[in-house]
Chain A
Amino acid sequence: MSAPVTPDPWTALRRHTPARIALGRTGASLPTSEVLGFALAHAQARDAVHAPFEAEAAAAAMRALGLETLIVDSAAPDRAAYLRRPDLGRALSEAGRAALAAQAARAPGSCDLAIVVADGLSSTAVHAHAAPLVEALLPMVREAGWRLGPVVVARQARVALGDAVGELLEARLVILLVGERPGLSSPDSLGAYITFAPKVGRTDAERNCVSNIRAEGLGYDAAAFKLAWHAREALRLGLTGVGLKDESDLAALQTVTPPRSVPAGSRSPTG
C-alpha cells in the first residue's frame, strides 16, 4: 500500500516565495520528508550559531587583499556568555582595548574608515562572505581616497562593538560586518552596519544597515556599492541613522530591512 500522504496541487506557487508552502500532509501532520528537511535546516542554523569563528583565517583573507589586520576579543569569554550577556559582546576585552589604543598611538588621526569583521550570530556567514565583500568594496574606498585603519577581526562580538573599536582608532566612520541571526532558509546571511563618528553609547537609531548579503540575497558588488554610497553620504552629511535615508538605486539593488533593526515597531529589537 502506498504512503497516505496528500500532496497539495499548488506546488507551482512555490516559484514566488522561499516560504515553505505546498508541503502536503498526512492527516493533519507534515509528511516525513518535510519533518526531516526542517530538521536539517534547523541543524544548519544551529551549527552556524555555534560553529567556532576562525578569526585567524578571516584575518589571513584580509591580509591577502593587502590589508593590515588586528584580532581582538569582546568581553564575552565564551559562546554561552555571549548569548546570555549582550552587554559583554558590545564591549572590548582589556587586551583588545590595549591593542587598539597602541595601534592608534602609532598612527594618530590616520583612519577615515575602520572596517570591523565580527562573528555575531553566524560565523558561517563571516567565513563565506566577509572577504569577498571587502574585496568588492576596496576599489571604491581607493577611488574615494579614504584612509583605512587595520581591519579589526572581533570574536564574540555584537554590532555595538564597532563603536568601541572606531572610537579607539579615532575613525570618522566604522563599517562593521557581522553574521546575522541565522534563519532556517538563510544560515549564512551577512549584515553591514555603518556608524558615523563611532563612540561607545551610540544607539541603533544612529546606524544604517545593509542586510541579507549572501548568494541568494544581496550580492557582493551591489552590497559594496550600497556601503560606499552610505559612507560617502555619511561623511558629507556628518551623520548616520534615521537621518540618512537610503536613496541609492533602490530599483536595481534590492535591500531588506533586517529584523533586528526594524525601526517601525514591527518587532522588538534584540540589539
Chain B
Amino acid sequence: MAYRATLGGTTWTFETLADLMAKASPPRSGDALAGIAAASAQHNVAAKTALAEVPLKTFLTQALVPYEVDEVTRLILDGHDAAAFAPVASLTVGEFRDWLLSELATPAALARLAPGLTPEMAAAVSKLMRNQDLILAASKCRVTTRFRNTIGLAGTMAVRLQPNHPTDDPAGITASILDGLLYGCGDAVIGINPASDSLNVLGDLTRLMDDLIRRFEIPTQSCVLTHVTTAIQLIERGAPVDLVFQSIAGTQAANASFGVTLDLLREGLDAGRSLGRGTVGDNVMYFETGQGSALSAGAHHGVDQQTLEARAYGVARAFEPLLVNSVVGFIGPEYLYDGKQIIRAGLEDHFCGKLLGAPLGVDVCYTNHAEADQDDMDSLLTLLATAGVTFVMGVPGADDVMLNYQSTSFHDALYVRELLGLKRAPEFEAWLERARIVGADGRLAPRAAGHPLLTAGAGG
C-alpha cells in the first residue's frame, strides 16, 4: 500500500514502507548514492510526516527485506516478543517518539520493552527524533554485560584499548598497550586489529595480551579482531581467546559478503563460551557494524542505510555480546559525507542499539577524505558521553597507524571523565587504583618511571 502526506497543498506519495523510511531519513551521502534519498528538504519532511502516522505494528507484518530470502528478517520476526511489545502495541511511530520522551519510559520500562521492538521500529522512530531526543532517550536505556568486569553500569563509560601496529610488531603493540593502561584505558577490551591473517601471528598476539592480563591480574579481556572462523581455529589450537569478534551487517547478503551466517556466529559463540574464561559473566562476543556496509556489498534491498544498521543490532543482540560498536565514520564519505552526517549517524546508531538492548559503543572516527576534523569528533564524543555510550575507542593520540583513520584517544577519554564525572568499569577502576595508576578520585596519579608495567615493557 502507498503512504501519503499533504503539506501546504502538495500531496506526496510513497509507494512502499521501505521507500517511506528512506525518504524520511535525515540526509546522508550513502542513501543518495543508493538513489533512494529524498529529493528535497520538503520531500524529507513529508516522509517524516507520513511515517509518524504509521502504526508500529505495521513493521511486524510488512518486512522491508523479504522474509523468504533473508535470515536476518526471519531472526527478527521469529524472535519478536509480543508480550514485551504490548505496552506500545497500539502506538504509531509518532506516538512512540512521544512515549519514549515521556516519564512512562523509565529505564526499567525500556529494558522490558527491548525484546518487543524490532530494529525497523527503532529506526523508524529515530528518523522523527532530533539529536537531543536521541540523546535523552538513549540515556535512559541501560544495557549491562560481563566477562571479567562489568560494563554498562549507570555513570560509567568503558574504553577499548586499540594498540594497532602496521606490521603487528609485538614490541610496538606492547608499547601502545602500556601507554593506554597508564592512561587508565582498556576496561572494555584490549583489542588489536591485526595487519596479518596468519594464524601463527594471530595466536602470538592472543598470547601476548593474555600474558599481560594474567601477569598483572588486570580485570579486562582481550580480542584479536579477526574473522570468526579464524577465532574458532585459534580456539581449536588452544589459543587463549577471550572474545570472539566479527563484523556484521543488517542483511543476509551483506553478512555473506563478510563470510558469515547466523549459524556461523552461533558456532563462534559456542566456541568462545566453551573456554569458560570469563570470571564474572559469559558475554563473549564482540561485534562491529557501520552504516553503509550493506550498500558497499550491493546487498541493501533498497532499504536506507540507517535502518539496515539497526538490523545489524538485531543480529548482534541474539548472541548476547559483551560489546557492539558502530565504526560510524570509518566507512567513508560516500556513506557519511561530513562531520554533521557522522555526528547524526553516531547518535542514531547509539540510540537504536541501546533501545534494542545491545551494549552499544561508538568508534567516534573519521577518515582523511571525509569533510570532518577533530572538532567534529569532540562534539560527537561529548554528545555520546552525555547519552550514556557504553564504550568508545582509545587509540594512542587518536591516530590509528594501521587502519589509517582517526578515532578517539586515551586523552579524549580522560577529557569526558573530567567533564562528566564518568567512571570506568568498577573492577578495572579498582585495579587502576591498586596499581597506583589513578588516585581515589579516578584521575591519573603522578607518573613514576619505575612503575611495574614499565619495567615489563622494557623487556618487550
Contact = CB atoms under 8 A, between A and B. Distances in A.
Bound together: yes
Interface of A: 6-10, 12-14, 16-23, 25, 27-30, 34, 38-39, 41-42, 45-46, 48-49, 83-87, 121, 180-187, 189, 212, 217, 254, 256-257, 259, 262-271
13 contacts: A7-B447, A19-B163, A19-B397, A28-B414, A28-B443, A42-B373, A49-B369, A84-B32, A183-B400, A183-B401, A254-B167, A257-B195, A267-B327
A132 B147 CA distance: 51
5 smallest A-B Cβ distances: which pairs?
A20-B397, A183-B404, A17-B172, A28-B414, A9-B449
A16 B174 contact: yes
Contacts, number: 201
B90 interface: no
Nearest to B167: A254
B294 to A, nearest CB: 10
A84 B403 contact: no
Contacts of B258: 265, 268
Given A16-B174, A17-B165, A264-B227, A34 B397 contact: yes
B415 interface: yes
Contact of B331 (A13, A22, A270): A270
B172 A85 contact: no
Contacts of B406: 42, 184
B332 to A, nearest CB: 5
B51 interface: no
A267 B457 CA distance: 29
Contacts of A84: 29, 32-33, 333-334, 337
Interface in B286-331: 288, 290, 292-293, 296, 327, 330-331
A187 B331 CA distance: 18
Interface stretch (B69-77, B118-126, B175-183, B384-392): B175-183
Interface in B78-112: none
A88 to B, nearest CB: 10
B368 A29 contact: no
Contacts of A9: 447-449, 454
A262 B327 CA distance: 15
A18 B404 contact: no
A121 B29 contact: no
Nearest to A7: B447
B247 A266 contact: yes
B454 A268 contact: no
Contacts of B249: 268
Interface of B: 29, 32-33, 163-167, 169, 171-176, 178-179, 182, 193-197, 225-228, 230, 245-247, 249, 258-260, 288, 290, 292-293, 296, 327, 330-334, 337, 367-369, 373-374, 395-406, 409, 411, 414-415, 417-418, 443-444, 446-449, 454, 457-458
Given A10-B457, A38-B374, A184 B399 contact: yes
Given A42-B368, A181-B368, A259-B404, A19 B396 contact: yes
B132 to A, nearest CB: 26
A185 B399 contact: yes
Contact of A21 (B179, B226, B247, B259): B179
A236 to B, nearest CB: 23
A246 B292 CA distance: 30
Contact of B166 (A14, A187, A256, A263): A256
A248 B176 CA distance: 30
Nearest to B449: A9
A265 B417 contact: no
Contact of B401 (A27, A46, A85, A185): A185
B226 A266 contact: yes
B333 A25 contact: no
B447 A6 contact: yes
B397 A38 contact: yes
B316 to A, nearest CB: 14
Contacts of B195: 256-257
Contacts of A254: 167
Given A16-B172, A18-B166, A181-B404, 19 more contacts: A16-B169, A23-B411, A25-B414, A28-B417, A28-B418, A29-B415, A30-B409, A38-B374, A39-B374, A42-B406, A182-B369, A182-B404, A257-B195, A263-B259, A265-B259, A267-B330, A268-B288, A268-B296, A270-B331
Contacts of A17: 165, 169, 171-173, 175-176, 401
A7 B182 CA distance: 12
Contact of B197 (A12, A28, A263, A270): A263
B330 A180 contact: no
A42 B374 contact: yes
Contacts of B174: 16
Given A19-B399, A27-B418, A42-B373, A268 B179 contact: no
Given A182-B368, A259-B403, A265-B228, A38 B398 contact: yes
A185 B45 CA distance: 43
Contacts of A256: 166-167, 195, 402
Given A19-B399, A20-B396, A46 B457 contact: no
B247 A265 contact: yes
Nearest to B454: A10
Contacts of B293: 268
A25 B411 contact: yes
Contact of A19 (B175, B227, B290, B447): B175
A19 B401 contact: yes
Contacts of B246: 265
B447 A8 contact: yes
Contacts of B334: 83-86, 270
Contacts of A46: 368
Nearest to B400: A183
